[in-house]
Amino acid sequence: MWKKWFSDKAANKQIDYNTIDLTRLPCHVAIIMDGNGRWAQKKGLPRTFGHRAGAETLREIVRTASEIGIKVLTAYAFSTENWRRPADEVSLLMSLLAEYLDNEINELDKNNVQIRFIGKIEELALTLRKKIEKAQAQTAHNTGLILNLAVNYGGRAELTRAVKIITEKVLNQELALEDINEAIIEENLYTANIPAPDLLIRPSGDFRISNFLLWQVAYAEFWFTETNWPDFKSENFLQAIRDYQQRERRFGGIKNTKKR
Ligand code: IPE
Ligand code: IPE
Ligand code: MG
């Protein structure tokens, strides 16, 4: 189904994917979906319109990522700090998430997408949690794109959680102190068994990480654009990938050395 969608767009020359080397795609792309409020304000609309438009962008980018063969897409939807916003904005964001799941899950499933959630899901409302569990269970067997939605996610909270889990194991003598290493920490992050992001995209003109994937982005390539998330299109996504393919990643080594 998505094949058709993607080819139609390509036929309309809206998407030029010929200049992308499909054999050297970033395995994991992370996106901070930012700028919804500014997009709406610029149009004289309430912020909520920006969030609705932002959800549309997510639909489009998930399709494109899946179609070109990206393995993992992690999208930051709601941070542990976003609770500081007015209650009506928070509740709209939660409803939009529920709506996204209701409307998209069957299509995601049909297209072999596996949806996962990262963050303190246990703190969300029960009705939303149920939808999240259902969506994860329905798509758990899929082998295509892994779509990680970061909801009530914070990098510091994730690391704090990992420290607690590991400490408990040490206290219970299931793990020796000297055996704690980077691999053990990684195993206790929400992203266990998922390779670290190769490319991190932040739209809307801010150049900061805002508590996203603090551990995981250690060697990610960062790509910024002034475009606000609701105006971000497949072409912007593909441009980020093209630019990524021009970068030289050294992982602390020197040119042409491979990551260990
Ligand atoms: C991103 O857009 C959505 C969330 C953080 C949930 P914003 O709402 O942060 O939009 P700006 O940054 O205020 O423009
Ligand atoms: C980051 O955006 C969180 C999400 C996009 C979900 P924010 O809008 O919350 O980040 P700051 O406050 O500008 O750093
Ligand atoms: Mg913002």
pLDDT tens-place string over residues 36-79: 999 999 999 999 999 999 999 999 999 999 999 999 999 999 99
**Residue 209 assigned to a binding site:** yes
**Residue 81 assigned to a binding site:** yes
Q: What is the pLDDT of residue 18?
A: 75
Ligand closest to Cα of 31 equals: 2
In DSSP terms, which residues pair with 10 in a beta bridge?
A: none
Q: What is the pLDDT of residue 255?
A: 86
Is 16 among the catalytic positions?
Answer: no
Q: What is the pLDDT of residue 104?
A: 97
Q: Please, how many CA atoms are within 13 Å of residue 196, restricted to the half-sphere of its CB?
A: 16
* pLDDT tens digits, 140-182: 999 999 999 999 999 999 999 999 999 999 999 999 999 999 9
* Rounded Cα distance, 2 and 37, in Å: 29
Mean pLDDT for the stretch of residues 213-232: 98
**Residue 47 assigned to a binding site:** yes
Asked if pLDDT for residue 193 goes beyond 70, the answer is yes
**Which of 36, 56, 78, 211 is the best mutation target for the ligand 1 pocket, counting ligand atoms within 8 Å of the beta carbon and taking the most?**
36
Please indicate, yes or no, whether the overall pTM of this predicted structure exceeds 0.75.
yes
| Closest to 94 (Cα-Cα) out of 107, 77, 71 | 77
CB of 31 within 8 A of CB of 76? yes
Q: What is the pLDDT of residue 12?
A: 47
Ligand 2 atom having least distance to the Cα of 81 = 9
Ligand 1 binding pocket, CB closer than 6 Å: 33-38, 78, 82, 93, 204
Model confidence at 10, pLDDT cuts 50, 70, 90, reads very low
Enumerate the domain spans of the chain.
154-189
Model confidence at 4, pLDDT cuts 50, 70, 90, reads low
Ligand 1, atom 1, lies closest to the CA of 34
Ligand 2 binding pocket, CB closer than 6 Å: 32-34, 76-79, 82, 206, 208, 210
H/E element holding 109?
Answer: helix 87-110
Task: Tell me what the pLDDT averaged over the chain comes to.
Answer: 94
Rounded percentage of the chain residues whose pLDDT exceeds 70: 92
Q: Taken in order 41, 44, 45, 46, is the CA torsion positive or negative? A: positive
Distance 34 CA to ligand 3 centre (A): 5
Q: What is the pLDDT of residue 19?
A: 84
Distance 227 CA to ligand 2 centre (A): 15
**Which of 38, 82, 151, 224 is the best mutation target for the ligand 1 pocket, counting ligand atoms within 8 Å of the beta carbon and taking the most?**
38
**Which of 39, 51, 79, 96 is the best mutation target for the ligand 2 pocket, counting ligand atoms within 8 Å of the beta carbon and taking the most?**
79
Residue in the structure block whose two tokens are 């703190």: 123
List, in order, residues 6 or more apart from 12 with CB less than 8 Å away.
Answer: none
